[in-house]
Amino acid sequence: MSVKTATAASAFRAGDHIVYPAHGVGRVTGIEKQKVAGLDLEVFVIQFDQDKMTLRVPTAKARSCGMRPLASAQVVSDAMKTLTGRARIKRTMWSRRAQEYEAKINSGDLVSIAEVVRDLHRGGDQPEQSYSERQLYESALDRMARELAAVEKINRDQAIAKLTHSLQMKKQAA
């Protein structure tokens, strides 16, 4: 086993919650050895309960594909602060903005996801969102809520309530 593989394998252990950029929060259920195309491969087995999905990621590729531990308390604090900031909506075509929002959501970066939630959040006095705006908003809110729930050891509904409260505080401050 190479030094690089040993380092990657020791970075995550069974039971650890991780963030995989394209799927959000998952839990490492184990590390297995598999034979793929004649090569012995060590993989993290990651369970995503919300999607009822299991993913196997080679331990040597975990970092390069963006897999990371849950956000630190400081990053969560920065993300919550981002929610209370002023929405920054560019005056570009919606299709271009939608691509940028999707990229931010799939980056796995909690602060970038918070920017999407902040920018797409609509208060009761604002016009209704289009279907695609609502889909992106709900995707970002869900991704953020799942990580917040895992970090703070609360359930997803409590995390959404906390995020919604922060978004409403923004409106009151304005």
Model pLDDT for residues 79-91, shown as the tens digit of each residue:
999 999 988 888 8
Q: Give the model's pLDDT for residue 129.
A: 85
Question: Residue 1 pLDDT > 60, yes or no?
Answer: no
pTM reported for the whole predicted model = 0.86
Mean pLDDT over residues 16-37, rounded? Answer: 92
Q: Give the model's pLDDT for residue 4.
A: 41
- DSSP secondary structure code for residue 90 in this structure: -
Could you tell me which of 11, 1, 2, 113 has the C-alpha nearest to residue 62? 11
For the chain, give every residue range classified as CATH 1.20.58.1290.
Answer: 73-173
Contact (CB, 8 A) for 106 and 21: yes
Question: Residue 174 pLDDT > 60, yes or no?
Answer: no
Q: What's the CATH code, domain 3-69?
A: 2.40.10.170
Q: What's the CATH code, domain 73-173?
A: 1.20.58.1290
For the chain, give every residue range classified as CATH 2.40.10.170.
Answer: 3-69
What does the pLDDT look like over 83-126, one tens digit per residue? 999 888 888 999 999 999 999 999 999 999 999 999 999 877 77
